[in-house]
Amino acid sequence: MYRYDEADQQIVEERARQFRGQVERRLDGRLSEEEFRPLRLQNGLYLQLHAYMLRVAIPYGLLSATQLRQLAHIARTYDRGYGHFTTRQNLQFNWPTLTDTPAILDALASVQMHAIQTSGNCVRNVTSDPFAGVAADEIVDPRPYCEFLRQWSTFHPEFAHLPRKFKIAVTGATVDRAAIAVHDIGLRIRKDEAGRIGFEYFAGGGQGRTPVLAEKLRDFLEEADLLAYTEAVLRIYNELGRRDNKYKARIKVLIKEMGSAEFRRRVEAEFETTRHDPALRLDPEALARMKAHFVPPDYATLPDGQTALQAGRLGKDRAYARWLASNLAPHRVPGYAIVQLSLKSETLPPGDVTADQMDAIADLAERHGFGRILVTHRQNLVLPDVRIDALRQVHAALEGLGFATPNVDRVTDIIACPGLDYCDLANARSIPVAQSIQQTLADADRVHDLGPLTLNISGCINACGHHHVGNIGILGIDKQGEEFYQLTLGGSARDDASVGKVLGRALTAEEIPGAVERILATYAVLRSGADEAFLAVVRRVGLGPFKEAVYADHS
């Protein structure tokens, strides 16, 4: 992974010192709250319903065991003993005090971490394929490019006051696990016939109140031009993005209003200038140096282990078999597997991990792997380098920790935003709804049998829980001060990205588990076989039968 040298280290330390000064000036009144707000936001510090929340960046989802232990330490010392993994490869602490935050930033800086630009109207933490570097279907490792983007965007002096927040996602695999279609900039790395690396370049995707899938700007942008082109996109957006209405300020609105052809024309014209700037062009040495940070670790030469896996899947130990089938992903190196830890159970809110669990995961990552942990946008964690011959041990350890629920990418692997329990923008609670659905779907065999299915919950239209792109989406709305929930079906964040359609009138929290139950039962009847996934059925038959099932005897 990327290792800081003294220059990187100096930057995060300077930042902690700067923020300490800003907090002091806030406390002695030299800074008003209005002036302080954008400063603290650009440092990931929100003011929530009950307290401050600090959002820590986990660039492109990659953590070392040392870093995870430090997060555990911070959770114990400055918070209530846990942290919350978000849908954007960040970790949130929900209870820090304003006066403690400079010390937390120091603690983060000591392990090469920070909270820079995890919020505010700036380029946010760059996200990526959570299996970057290990996925069997990877064409090009996206992490060097993510790190270039991280460095380029960190304190970029020109783009600290954009019209609105700006999110970039990068994937280098065949399957898009980074949801690039719903990002302000989405990049798919490819190779041309000559083997040269480049980017399929998308812009203008987003969720929120007007979900939009990104438009393609380029089929193939050369690797060396990544920053020059991105600088051109940001400059056009900074100058022309709307600033009169925060709901129309995202780049997706600019592109829609201007037309993608005109937007592209302007970006290309700007790129004619930036591409000749030697400070933006990535020369071969810089590319090689960056890639050297991400060379694969020393894998052992092992038999491919497929027979053992197959035997496990068919074996008598049903829990283990289900876990192998749903929580494992294929590794690029024979004899290894990618193991996903499900942070979705009935006991903790989705994405929450206690300090003790963090320590235990860090230990596991060192014992079974190279001390690396990955964070997924579905709020789960990943041990990327587990030997297939150690899977039973790892499974037992994860069961002990409560992270072996065999439900990854299944219906109970619910994404939920913090909702009304924490967030002052919320219309409705998300976490209790997730938990009530989980309780009604406690039958592991059934969940397993229902196959891949994403269920995403947001507590308001800001869509932090990605409800638009859930196969089943649940959106909290407010009707005369009461919490209601709107159901959508047919969303997807993958390569076949789509925005879900509203099923019908909004339901109460009590009605939701039953409605989900009826949707699933309808699917089970309609599918042509075990291979036809939920999304495929919704696309084939439309909403009609599901509407019928949910509302027929109710409306």
Partner 1 sequence: MRIIRDRRIVEDTFVHLDEHAPVPSGVGVVLPWSRWLAERASLADRGAPVGVRVAATIDLATLVEALSSLAVVAIEIPKFTDGRAYSLARRLRGEAGFSGELRAVGDVLRDQLLFLSRCGFDAFELAPGRSLEDALEAFGDHERHYQSSADRTRPLWTRPSPG
Q: Which is nearer to partner 1, 153 or 412 (CB)?
A: 153
Tracing tokens 């030697």 back to the chain, one arrives at: 278
491 lines the binding site for ligand SF4 (CB under 6 A):
no
243 lines the binding site for partner 1 (CB under 8 A):
yes
Site string for partner 1, 30-59 (x = CB under 8 A): xx---x--xx--------------------
Q: Which of 113, 423, 519, 535 binds ligand SF4 (CB under 6 A)?
A: 423
Residue 303: count of CB within 10 angstroms of its CB: 11
Angle at 46 between CA 179 and CA 108, to 5 degrees: 80
Q: Which two tokens stand for residue 282?
A: 């990535």
DSSP assignment of 104-168 equals HHHHHHTTT---TTSSSSSB---EE-TTTTTBTTBSS--HHHHHHHHHHHTT-GGGSS-SS-B-E
Q: Which two tokens stand for residue 422?
A: 């924490």
Cβ(545)–Cβ(522) below 8 Å:
yes
Q: Which of 16, 22, 420, 498 binds partner 1 (CB under 8 A)?
A: 22
- Can you tell me the distance from the alpha carbon of 24 to that of 402, in angstroms, rounded to the nearest whole number? 42
Cβ(484)–Cβ(476) below 8 Å:
yes
490 lines the binding site for ligand SF4 (CB under 6 A):
no
418 lines the binding site for ligand SF4 (CB under 6 A):
yes
Q: Which is nearer to ligand SF4, 282 or 416 (CB)?
A: 416
Site string for partner 1, 160-199 (x = CB under 8 A): xxxx------------------------------------
Binding segment for ligand SF4 (CB under 6 A), chosen from 8-16, 391-399, 454-462, 501-509, is 454-462
| Amino acid letter, 99 | T
Cβ(324)–Cβ(313) below 8 Å:
yes
452 binds, among ligand SF4, partner 1, none (CB under 5 to 8 A by kind): none
464 binds, among ligand SF4, partner 1, none (CB under 5 to 8 A by kind): ligand SF4
- Can you tell me the distance from the alpha carbon of 234 to that of 57, in angstroms, rounded to the nearest whole number? 21
- Can you tell me the distance from the alpha carbon of 193 to that of 376, in angstroms, rounded to the nearest whole number? 31
DSSP assignment of 373-396 equals EEE-TTS-EEEEEEEGGGHHHHHH
317 lines the binding site for partner 1 (CB under 8 A):
no
Site for partner 1 in 87-126 (CB under 8 A): 121
Specify the DSSP element, H or E, that contains 177: none
238 lines the binding site for partner 1 (CB under 8 A):
yes
157 binds, among partner 1, ligand SF4, none (CB under 5 to 8 A by kind): partner 1
- Can you tell me the distance from the alpha carbon of 541 to that of 392, in angstroms, rounded to the nearest whole number? 41
Cβ(401)–Cβ(149) below 8 Å:
no
464 lines the binding site for ligand SF4 (CB under 6 A):
yes
459 lines the binding site for ligand SF4 (CB under 6 A):
yes
Q: Which is nearer to partner 1, 11 or 477 (CB)?
A: 11
Q: Which is nearer to ligand SF4, 142 or 459 (CB)?
A: 459
Which residues would be at the binding site for partner 1 (CB under 8 A)?
5, 7-8, 10-11, 14-15, 17-18, 21-22, 30-31, 35, 38-39, 121, 148, 151-152, 154-163, 227, 235, 238-239, 243, 273, 277, 279-280, 282-283, 285-286, 289-290, 292
